[in-house]
Amino acid sequence: MYNIYEFYRGTLIIGCRFICVFAVLINKVSLQETVHRDGVIGGSVLLPCSSTEHDLKLQDIDVSWRHNDSEIVFDIVKGKDYVAEQDPRYKNRVETFPLEYKTGNFSIKLTDLTHTDAGDFNCLIRPSDEQKTIQLIIKGA
């Protein structure tokens, strides 16, 4: 015969597991953020990206900047700028702020804007898996 105590115990365990999984999912969703920025042709724009995790060591941090999920805009590997695989469209157009890295600020400044710069810029910070999306709208000069 099934014991009522076992029934409630099983329900409680399932409920606790659901709450734990739900809390993890909520935390992951909250680590994703979307902001909007406007730019003009020939101008420049600051694309913000910062970490809320302040206990990470700079040498453990990798940051990937991508445009429309494919073009490599800029990478920071082990806390250092890495441009070996940078898309040629962004060569000499991305300004970084290395002195800000230790505070968790990985924002970039994109210069000489063109119509093709419009779209989504994604910043992924690892190992904390924080992701920022900046939707850039380009307006005529």
55-77 residue pLDDT tens: 888 999 999 999 999 999 999 99
**Structural contact between residues 65 and 115, judged by C-beta atoms closer than 8 angstroms:** no
Q: Does domain 34-139 have CATH number 2.60.40.10?
A: yes
Q: Is the dihedral of CA 75, 108, 126, 26 positive or negative?
A: negative
Q: How confident is the model at residue 19 (pLDDT cuts 50, 70, 90)?
A: very low
Give the integer Cα–Cα distance in Å for 31 and 52: 9
pLDDT at residue 89 above 70? Answer: yes
Q: Which residues of 23-45 are buried (b: 16+ CB within 10 A; e: fewer)?
A: eeeeeeeebeeeeeeebeeeeeb
pTM for the model = 0.76
